Amino acid sequence: MDLSIIIPAYNLENYIENTLNSIINQNDNYLDLFEIIVVDDGSKDKTYDRALNLLSKKNNINYKIFKKQNGGVSSARNFGLKKASGKYVMFLDGDDYIATDFLEKIFKTFNYDDYDIIFWKYDIVDEKNNIVLKYDDVYTFPKNSSMLDGLNILNEILINKNLWIWTGSIIYKKDFLLQNNLKFFENCIYGEDLEFIFKSLTHAKRGFFINSVLSYYLQRKNSITKSYNIRRFDNIYAFLRTAEYMEKVNNNKFKKIIKYLKYDLLIEHFFQNYDLLYYSFLKNKESKSFFSIIKKEYNNLFDITLKIIPYYIGDKKRIKFRSFLYSKSIKLYTLLLRINFYIKKY
C-alpha cells in the first residue's frame, strides 16, 4: 500500500460525500495503490452513515471506517495514523477535496526518489466550488526549487513568505513520522496543524514540491476557523511549543526560525486574536467577563505575552504601536480598543 488518506470528520454529513468522491473518482490505474481511512469523531449527524454507504458500494476501493468518541480533530488524525497501512500518509479534512489528477501526479513523484515529505499548491474555494483565493496570487515559490530540506522549506514559508503548506497539501512518509514520534497535539483547536507541519519540517531532510494545485481548502461560513471564540488563543501556545521543540532539536540550526515564531508570528496572532475577541465580547455586551474568561482558560497568557511582546522584531507599524501600549498597560490597551469600537459603531 503506497498511500493512506486519513479523513477526520465531525458533523460533516453535507460535505463528506464530496470529499470521498474526489478520491474515488481518480484514475482507475491507481485505485489499488491507496486506502481511505475515515475517522468519524463522534458526529451527531449522519456523517458516518453517508460515508459508509458510499464506500461500501465501491468494490475496487480499499477503505477503513471508524467511529470513535469525540476527542477533537487532532485525536481523530492520530487515531487514523495508527490504523494506516500506507508507506505515505495524508490528512484531508472531511469537507476538503483533491484535484482530479492528484493520484497520478503523486504516484509519479514516488518513482523519482524516496522523500520524507511531498507538498504542493492548493486553492481556497467556497461551498459552490468557486475559487476564492488562488495559491499563485499569493505565493511565488520558484518553479525550479523542487527539492528542499526542512530548514529551507521553513525559511521559504516564514522568512521569505514565498510558500505555504496546509494540512491537506502535504503527505508524509509514515516511517518518518513514527521514527521522530510526530503526532498532532491533542486538546488544541487552533494552531495544531501548523505545529505538526513545522515540527515535521524540523526533521525533514528530503522534501519535494509539486508545482501544481492538487487540493482544495473549503472555506465554510460556519467553520471553526472562521469563528471567534476564546480558544483562538490555543495557537499562541502552539507557536510556543513549536519554538521550544526546535530549540531542543537544534537551537543553532533553527535560531532564525525560532526567533520569527516567538517574536513575530506569535505576537501578530496574539493581537489579531485579542482585538477580534474583545470586539466580539463588546458586540455581545459581555466585555465585563472578558478578562475573567481568559484567565480561566489560560491562566498564564498575560504573563507569557508581557515577556515576549516588547521584543517584537517585525516591521508592521500597527503591531509595534500595539506592542508598546500593551507592554505599558494591558488595561489601557483594552480601554483604547473599547473607545475605537464605539467610535466605529457610532
pLDDT single digits (tens) 12-60: 999 999 999 999 999 888 889 999 999 999 999 999 999 999 999 988 8
Q: Angle between the 266-283 and 234-250 helix axes, to the nearest 10 degrees? A: 170
Compute the distance between CA of residue 294 and CA of residue 252 in angstroms, rounded to an integer. Answer: 34
Query: Per residue in 163-190, is it b (16+ CB within 10 Å) or e — as a string?
Result: bbbbbbbbbbbbebbeebebbbbeebbb
- Which residue type occupies 126? D
What domains are defined for the chain? 3-224 (3.90.550.10), 228-345 (no CATH)
**Mean of all residue pLDDT scores within the chain:** 93
Q: What is the pLDDT of residues 86-105, one digit of tens each?
A: 999 999 999 999 999 999 99
Q: Which of 3-12, 232-241, 285-294 has the lowest mean pLDDT?
A: 285-294
pLDDT for the residue numbered 112 = 62
Judge whether residue 228 has pLDDT over 80. no
Judge whether residue 168 has pLDDT over 80. yes
Mean pLDDT of 207-234: 84
Mean pLDDT of 228-248: 94
pLDDT for the residue numbered 339 = 93
Backbone angles phi, psi at 344, to 5 degrees: -70, -35
The C-alpha R_g of the chain, in whole angstroms, comes to 21
Mean pLDDT of 272-297: 92
Judge whether residue 287 has pLDDT over 90. no
Mean pLDDT of 145-158: 90
Q: Angle between the 317-328 and 330-345 helix axes, to the nearest 10 degrees? A: 130
pLDDT for the residue numbered 100 = 96
> Quick check: pTM over 0.85?
yes
Tell me what percent of the residues of the chain surpass a pLDDT of 70. Answer: 95
Q: How far is CA 274 from the centre of its chain?
A: 20
